[in-house]
Structure 1
Amino acid sequence: MKKISRTSSGFTLIEMIVVMLILSALAVTAYARISQIDTQARLAALQAFKANVLAVATMAKGVCMSDPQCDGNQNAPSAVIEGNTIYFSHGYPVGWLGNADGAGTLSKLVDAGKFSVQAALSDTNHATYTLQGARDSNHCKLEYTITTGSANASGLNVTIDSSGC
């Protein structure tokens, strides 16, 4: 007669606890990384929008410099860019003119995507864009400012506030 041996092929309680501890540690690490993805995405969108605004404003300034209608001696310096009449202040596209559709302003040249201009915070030499869906839209924004001073000291300042993204 053959002897039948019974060997157990399961896991011990200790092995199960060790596996659960390892899986828990991995889950905590993954959660910590995933929980910051949305903030990092909003920050990346803000930085990309800043680069876009700077590039568009600089290119528009080049168009303005080559257009006689954009001469600083004109009453309302302007140039036609992509079929839009764009107004300029100190060589840069104006921030906001108070019109609802942004006609004649930087907004007609920039693909704002998820950003919207805050008309109440904007004027000719200034525009404030906020990111839709930010935790705190007052602190997840881009400020476009044309600095005015003497003819030689005018320039463009584009800053971002990412503390509320």
Structure 2
Amino acid sequence: MNTGRGKEEGFTLIELVMVIVILGILAAFALPRFADLGGDARAATLQGAIGSVKSAAGIAHSACLARSSCDESSAGQTVSLEGTSVDMNGGYPAAAAGGIDVAAQIQDDFVLGTASGTTIQISADDGSGSALTDCNFTYDESDGTVDPTSVTTSGC
């Protein structure tokens, strides 16, 4: 008659501790990859704003061309987009407040810099109403474009 203990099943305390240690090490290496997703999100938002600006410039320019009273060669024109007045210069939304920011509907989330000739720098908002440095792009009202070389996302 065999009176010994039967075969025990389950994990020992050492095995459980080792699994927890291994999971901790894996988490320590994986955490930095996911820790700063805010910068990536701001960079993606900036890319979305660039698309909005390009589309809005094209739509506003088309609206100007469709109106006989809109003179492409002069400043101070306005067009109405969805009931909102957009300031125009040379047939494209102006590189100033009330122009491209209103046309692209980005005035609440982005900060307009000081206009320089026909261009203006548009920066991501840092959350307090100030511009993030090195998280911006430049809009040119002379042809309604965004220069791809002007896009900076390193500071997002």
- TM bucket (normalised to shorter chain) is 0.7 to 0.9
**In structure 2, distance between residues paired with 1:55 and 1:75:** 21
**In structure 2, distance between residues paired with 1:59 and 1:91:** 11
Equivalences, count: 148
Answer yes or no: is the 8 Å Cα contact 1:69–1:79 preserved in 2.
no
**In structure 1, distance between residues paired with 2:117 and 2:69:** 18
Q: How does 1:1-165 map to 2 (within 5 A)?
A: 3=3, 5=5, 10-11=11-12, 13=14, 15-16=15-16, 18-74=18-74, 76-96=76-96, 102-103=97-98, 105-112=99-106, 113-118=108-113, 121-122=114-115, 125-133=118-126, 137-147=132-142, 155-158=143-146, 159-165=150-156
The root-mean-square deviation of aligned C-alpha atoms, in Å, is: 2.8
**In structure 2, distance between residues paired with 1:38 and 1:161:** 16
1:24 deviates by 2.5
1:55 deviates by 0.5
**In structure 2, distance between residues paired with 1:31 and 1:52:** 33
**In structure 2, distance between residues paired with 1:83 and 1:123:** 28
Structure 2 residues not aligned, in runs of 5+: none
Q: 1:87 to 1:133 in 2, by over 3 A?
A: closer
Structure 1 SS opposite 2:154: coil
Structure 1 SS opposite 2:111: strand
TM-score, length of structure 2 as denominator length: 0.76
TM-score, length of structure 1 as denominator length: 0.72
Instruction: Determine what percentage of the aligned residue pairs are the same residue.
Output: 22
